[in-house]
Amino acid sequence: MDRREFVRIGLTAGAAAGSSRVLAAPSAAAFKFGAGGILEAGVREQQQMMEAGKLTSHSLTSQYLARIRNIDKSGPRLNSIIEINPEALKIALEMDRERMLKRLRGPLHGIPVLLKDNIATGDRMSTTAGSLALNGVRAARDAHVVAQLRAAGAVIIGKTNLSEWANMRSTHSVSGWSARGGLTLNPYSLDRNCSGSSSGSGAAIAANLATLAVGTETDGSIVSPASICGLVGIKPTLGLVSRSGIIPIAHSQDTAGPMARSVADAALMLTAMVGVDADDEATAESRGKMADYSAALEKGGLQGKRIGVARNFFGSNPEVDMVIERALQDLVAQGATLVDTEVPNSAKYGETETEVLLYEFKADLEAYLKKYAPHAPVANMADVIAFNKKNHERELKYFGQEYLEQAQNKGDLETPAYRDALLNNRRYARAEGIDQVMQQHQLDALVAPTGGPAWLTDFINGDHYGGSFSSPAAVAGYPHITVPAGQVQGLPVGLSFVGAAYSEALLIRMAYSYEQATRHRRAPQFPASVSLSVR
């Protein structure tokens, strides 16, 4: 969008909001942005523009919607957005009106936000988890996290595509594909995968289709696509953010979290998302432990910190290891002390993690449908399986529904096998896992490669991940932050910071210091494929 179009949209928004003030184009001296301009700018920069009268929420939202039309629905056709909120511009105008009346709700006032399409919105949009079984089904009310964001002034502009049923449908799934939304493409190489299941959220924010997005994670579904799309992703401590109103996999691991282009933006968004919810008992544990995470955005956060290097999560890709070894040197340069170690017992909950997810998926899905989608054509796991079989040409054309069928065959949550598996997970991921190694070496955090670079999308063989550091924190329910650490052949790679329960502020402080010292994020150029350089 050129300067004249920017000014035209700004003037139109100001008139619609009832403002008699003429909005001038921003002064280059006062506001300096990268090549992506205002659409790549962070929350604070966009807020400064609005406070100075150089931008409105309506103008900003309009520009993002135009970019979605030009980049997501045409041009490279990323296909990251599954649905646009028809009320987005109306909400933006209301935020502009409130700003004129000096009724600012907080740092996210008027900021455009995308939601993953497994997060309920009590509006005109559907909430489907990418399944045709829920296509057109509107949730009875907002998820708690959506209510929190609306109260903070965020403008919900749409829903993002995802791996159908959050990648818990098939043992041979293709991340980023759903029957409702199709395949989301990776903006760093269109023939490669975005990972999942928050694929659309990752691709959209990388491509500057909104300021912020919400992802959800059970194991890797925020941090993996964030890493692969060159973003910051935060998987919070279990219960810090309410799960109510989010189409579930498993209540023992599920959480929503921010996906953003910077640690600062992710911290501001997390602050708005957290809150105790009477409908989610896990949030009661977070009472008194929540914070204004923007207070952690200070340089020098690595000085004097002891960081464990989880060496048993290296070795999947030598080029990724080289990137992370340079990152480790950067940590030392910023004052951190590194301790080579391993996360113990991480192999002892691989099978039991899956068992727990299958049991909880069956029970939790039925509970969600009863409360948030009582008029949906499906009411439980058995109904979803039957729907997919009936509509196999659209739903099962690329891969099956093995996980759905395995979940349906499980008993209830009083089954001894389930309870034993859950106890095993908590023992080896928490007390004899992350807690043990951190206490033994008096660590502030653990670091490792988040995962491998993006792989070629393959509808025949399915996904083929290149290593992952997501499971220890996911199974333990502990916080995990990934930050861009560099690239391998033009494909982003992330550095993960993992800590003890409710250590988000500490992790954000360290991640922010690393980010500010290195600044590895590069905007995507939408190439059809990777152009290999000589090694």
| Helices 263-273, 144-151: inter-axial angle, 10-degree rounding | 110
pLDDT number for residue 31: 59
Indicate whether 528 belongs to any domain: no
User: Percent of the chain at pLDDT above 70?
Assistant: 93
User: Is the separation of the CB atoms in 195 and 175 below 8 Å?
Assistant: yes
pLDDT in tens, 214-232: 999 999 999 999 999 999 9
In a domain, 33, yes or no: no
Is residue 533 domain-resident?
no
Domain that holds residue 16: 3-28+39-518
Integer Cα distance of 437 and 430 in angstroms: 10
Which candidate, 231, 96, 236, 72, places its Cα nearest to that of 155?
A: 96
CATH code assigned at 140: 3.90.1300.10
Active site residues: 116, 197, 221
Per-residue 3-state assignment (H helix, E strand, C coil) for 285-310: HHCCCCCCHHHHCCCCCCCCCEEEEE
* Domain assignment present for 441: yes
- Residue 11's pLDDT is 32
pTM of the model: 0.94
Task: Judge whether 246 lies within some domain.
Answer: yes
Total tally of structural domains belonging to the chain = 1
User: What single letter denotes the amino acid at residue 158?
Assistant: G
Q: Is residue 531 situated within a structural domain?
A: no
The verdict on residue 523 lying in a domain is: no
The residue that leads in pLDDT, 285 or 29, is: 285
Residue range 364-411, pLDDT digits in tens: 999 999 999 999 999 999 999 999 999 999 999 999 999 999 999 999
Whether 43 is covered by a domain: the verdict is yes
Helix (H) or strand (E) holding 484: strand 480-488
Confidence (pLDDT) at 198: 98
Q: Is 276:288 a contact under the CB 8 Å cutoff? A: no
pLDDT at residue 28, rounded to an integer:
37
